[in-house]
Amino acid sequence: MNIEKTVNGTTAVISLEGWLDTKTAPELGAAVSELPAEVKELTLDLAKTEYISSAGLRQIVAIHKKMDSFIVKNVSPELMEIFKMTGINNRLNMQ
């Protein structure tokens, strides 16, 4: 998985490419932990994400709990099915 971070003051965008699974979920957690303390708004761009496992979903929920504002965007229909099956889509701001 490739992770690209863009920080602009109190906002950040993390873009993922590839699979968010048991092996790569900790990498996402580390990327979020490395964000400056002033970042309060995070957008997770899943445009190039092919697959999310339960470990990836757990990491997304953990990020949601940390941030004042958290948006998940560019979710493919296949990934949206995973979010809907677990009900997580009802807890997240998805665009």
Number of domains into which the chain is organized: 1
pLDDT for position 43: 98
pLDDT for position 14: 98
Instruction: List pLDDT tens digits, range 30-86.
Output: 999 999 999 999 999 999 999 999 999 999 999 999 999 999 999 999 999 999 999
Sign of CA dihedral 48, 89, 64, 53: negative
CATH of the domain at 25: 3.30.750.24
**Residue range of the domain that includes 62:** 2-94
